[in-house]
């Protein structure tokens, strides 16, 4: 390694411009090439709910280890439009470098950049139009400048382009490779010759990794667990689940149905699951609201369906592309009447996969709706994970009856009373397995009944499931120092921020632990117990009312020990901000800790 260069261990890059400028493409290609260099990568997006226009950004972190969040310190900012600089200047510091499109002149002094920021103006758009007659090629030109700055080798950049654009055809590949060459020439003119990059980056034969989003991992888990029908309606940010399954589920012998709306989607799902087919749908808050009647039918008719909620900022349409965790109450309490349901909350893409398997097992065995509680960040941000070990997948389908088993019974009762609350099930069409399905209260055969004795028994039968399944529900994962008096609770995209904040606190001599809840409903005793063990519990969540904290308190959490740290402006938290809020709540100052 050169004496004047450092090993790349933590790189944070923002690429921003008008929607349609290709910011996400640049970040995705950079993520792939850095992953090939043995680094783990994580990406975020800040986009608008429109096809083109408006300032948008994609952000990448490449780390020698695991970080599932973007750092508070940005190393490189690439601006395709100077208006983007004003929007994101607050994230920069005096050590940051800004590459900007100088086609229309130098940066205005009104952009309020920190002092000592390194500025590199490159006429990206002008050269894209000059050489290719299309402005969009400025993103491929910029990639060469970015690569030279951080220390990528020209051959490695070329190979990454061949991998990315080769599938688009020979002409598209040629133009992008030519744009890369133009960028290399501009980099030379800017003083970024080969070998003068900031870091020493070597290609490596690193262990194979997956670069995947939470939505993709959920879809993958559904398919591997035996899921065979997905019914859904496109809605941001859940649509990626359906898009992945459209491509891959038919290869597993499955079917994807795009419905005309969320009401149709949940009713298609009900019909599919009623036949004994593992079924899933995916939506977000407004879709969950529309599905409520169908979800109630799942509860009354005891039909198992997995429902993915990729939460976004609400209420109503809200901010469709921004993260929030404000559907927790809706998932845990929503619907008319009392009926059992399960709410699972993964924190990483890998957990999205395995909890999708768990969700399908629970839904089918206990014959009830199971929600997967995601958020926009976990759903759509990409992360490097280890290859998924399919040998860890276990599938169980509950008490299903075939023709031979039915023949041995005197009579088949679809809703027979059992110790677990889950009745045995014969798929419709099985000889001797006729049952009735209704949204009305019913007896063991499915016949409508308003008898008070039967009503009590049926309500209690369904409620038993919530007790019977407890040993099978995913337990919380503990991180950090188990004896620490400071504790964190958070789900979804809070995972990475909390873990990094704990590392920053440890550097100050402040130790903490993280109780990563994975089953929100039914609330397991372990979570209220955790709030009694720690004197200072910080529940971190993306909503305005502290829904997760209140859920924990309602189920025995020690309210006097609990403080909420909330965010609901649509901007992802950063670890340094979380540390600052924790220290403020603890009445600590920087000079009081070592």
The pLDDT score that the predictor gives to residue 1 is 43
Q: Poorest-confidence range of 42-56, 94-108, 198-212, 243-257?
A: 198-212
Q: Whose structure tokens read 């439009």?
A: 81
Q: Which two tokens stand for residue 497?
A: 């921020």
Tell me if the pTM is above 0.75: yes
Residue 215 and residue 379 in contact, taking contact as beta carbons nearer than 8 Å: yes
Non-local (6+) Cβ contacts of 456 within 8 A are: none
Model confidence at 282, in pLDDT bands (50, 70, 90)? very high
The pLDDT score that the predictor gives to residue 106 is 87
The pLDDT score that the predictor gives to residue 235 is 97
Is residue 114 left, alpha or beta, with left meaning phi > 0 and alpha meaning psi from -120 to 50?
Answer: beta
Report, as an integer, the average pLDDT of 363-368.
98
Report, as an integer, the average pLDDT of 547-576.
97
The pLDDT score that the predictor gives to residue 8 is 87
Report, as an integer, the average pLDDT of 230-259.
97
What CATH superfamily is the domain 6-200? Pyruvate-ferredoxin oxidoreductase, PFOR, domain III (3.40.920.10)
- The correct answer on CATH 3.30.465.10 for the domain covering 477-592 is no
Topology annotation, domain 211-392: Rossmann fold (3.40.50)
- Cis peptide preceding 512, ω within 30 of 0: no
The pLDDT score that the predictor gives to residue 202 is 66
Give the up-direction half-sphere exposure of residue 274: CA atoms within 13 A in the CB hemisphere: 19
Please give, one letter per residue, the 3-state secondary structure of 217-255: HHHHHHHHCCCCEEEECCCCCCHHHHHHHHHHHHHHCCE
Q: How far apart are CA 424 and CA 436, in angstroms?
A: 14
Domain boundaries, the chain: 6-200, 211-392, 399-474, 477-592
Assess whether pLDDT exceeds 50 at residue 558.
yes
The pLDDT score that the predictor gives to residue 441 is 98
- Label the pairing between strands 342-344 and 519-521: antiparallel
**DSSP per position, 57-118:** EEEEEEESS---S--SS--EEEESSHHHHHHHGGG--TT-EEEEE-TT-SPPGGG-PPTT-E
Beta bridge pairs of residue 133: none
Report, as an integer, the average pLDDT of 81-91.
90
At residue 30, what are phi and psi to the nearest 5 degrees?
-65, -40
470-520 per-position pLDDT tens digit: 999 999 999 999 999 999 999 999 999 999 999 999 999 999 999 999 999
Average pLDDT, the chain: 94
* Equal CATH topology for 211-392 and 477-592: yes
Q: Whose structure tokens read 């009305």?
A: 440
Model confidence at 370, in pLDDT bands (50, 70, 90)? very high
Assess whether pLDDT exceeds 80 at residue 52.
no
298-318 per-position pLDDT tens digit: 999 999 999 999 999 999 999
Greater confidence (9 vs 514) lies with 514
Element (H, E) at 520: strand 519-521
Q: How far apart are CA 122 and CA 118, in angstroms?
A: 13
203-231 per-position pLDDT tens digit: 655 677 889 999 999 999 999 999 999 99
Non-local (6+) Cβ contacts of 18 within 8 A are: 52, 53, 54, 55, 56, 80, 81, 83
Q: Which two tokens stand for residue 517?
A: 């809840």
Report, as an integer, the average pLDDT of 234-241.
97
The pLDDT score that the predictor gives to residue 227 is 98
143-201 per-position pLDDT tens digit: 999 999 999 999 999 999 999 999 999 999 999 999 999 999 999 999 888 877 888 77
The pLDDT score that the predictor gives to residue 110 is 61
Cα separation values, 230 from 226, 242, 267, Å: 12, 7, 12
Coil, helix or strand at residue 373: strand
């Amino acid at each position: 390694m050169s004496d004047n260069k450092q090993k790349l261990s933590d790189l944070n890059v923002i690429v921003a411009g008008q929607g349609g400028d290709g910011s996400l493409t640049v970040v995705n290609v950079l993520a792939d090439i850095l992953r090939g260099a043995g680094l783990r990568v994580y990406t975020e997006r800040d986009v608008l709910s429109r096809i083109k226009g408006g300032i948008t950004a994609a952000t990448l972190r490449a780390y020698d280890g695991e970080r599932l969040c973007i750092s508070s310190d940005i190393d490189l900012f690439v601006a395709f439009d100077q208006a983007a600089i004003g929007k994101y200047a607050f994230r920069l510091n005096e050590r940051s470098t800004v590459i900007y499109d100088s086609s229309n002149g130098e940066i205005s002094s009104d952009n309020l950049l920190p002092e000592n920021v390194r500025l590199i103006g490159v006429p990206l758009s002008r050269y894209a139009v000059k050489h290719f007659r299309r402005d969009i090629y400025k993103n491929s030109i910029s990639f060469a400048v970015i690569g030279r700055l951080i220390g990528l080798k020209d051959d490695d950049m070329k190979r990454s382009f061949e991998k990315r654009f080769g599938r688009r055809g020979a002409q598209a590949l040629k133009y992008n490779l030519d744009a890369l060459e133009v960028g290399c020439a501009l980099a030379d003119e800017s003083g970024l010759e080969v070998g003068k990059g900031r870091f020493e980056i070597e290609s490596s034969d690193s262990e194979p990794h997956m670069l995947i989003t939470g939505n993709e991992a959920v879809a993958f888990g559904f398919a591997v667990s035996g899921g065979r029908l997905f019914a859904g309606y496109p809605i941001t940010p859940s649509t990626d689940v359906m898009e992945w399954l459209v491509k891959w589920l038919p290869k597993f012998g499955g079917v994807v149905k795009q419905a005309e709306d969320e009401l149709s989607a949940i009713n298609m799902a009900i019909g599919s699951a009623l036949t004994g087919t593992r079924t899933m749908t995916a939506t977000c808050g407004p879709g969950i609201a529309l599905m409520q009647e169908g979800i109630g039918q799942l509860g009354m008719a005891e039909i198992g369906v997995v429902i993915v909620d990729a939460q976004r900022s609400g209420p109503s349409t809200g901010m469709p592309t921004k993260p929030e965790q404000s559907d927790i109450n809706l998932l845990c309490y929503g619907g008319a009447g009392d009926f059992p349901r399960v709410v699972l909350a993964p924190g990483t893409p890998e957990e999205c996969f395995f909890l999708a398997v768990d969700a399908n097992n629970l839904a089918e065995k206990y014959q009830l709706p199971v929600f997967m509680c995601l958020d926009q960040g976990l759903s759509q941000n990409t992360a490097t994970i280890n290859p998924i070990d399919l040998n860890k997948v276990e599938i169980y389908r509950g008490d299903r009856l075939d023709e031979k088993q039915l023949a041995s019974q005197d009579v088949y009762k679809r809703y027979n009373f059992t110790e677990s609350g889950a009745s045995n099930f014969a798929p419709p069409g099985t000889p001797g397995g006729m049952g009735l399905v209704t949204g009305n209260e019913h007896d063991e055969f499915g016949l409508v009944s308003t008898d008070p004795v039967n009503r009590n028994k049926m309500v209690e039968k369904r409620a038993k499931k919530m007790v019977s399944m407890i040993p099978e529900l995913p337990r919380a994962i503990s991180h950090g120092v188990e004896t620490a008096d400071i504790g964190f609770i958070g789900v979804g995209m809070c995972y990475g921020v909390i873990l990094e904040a704990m590392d920053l606190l440890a550097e100050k001599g402040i130790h903490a632990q993280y109780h990563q809840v994975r089953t929100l409903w039914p609330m397991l005793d372990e979570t209220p117990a955790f709030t009694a063990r720690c004197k200072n519990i910080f529940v971190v969540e993306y909503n305005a009312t502290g829904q997760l904290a209140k859920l924990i308190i309602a189920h025995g959490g020690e309210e006097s020990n609990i403080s909420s740290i909330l965010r609901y402006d649509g901007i992802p938290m950063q670890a340094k901000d979380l540390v600052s809020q924790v220290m403020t709540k603890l009445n600590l100052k920087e000079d009081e800790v070592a």
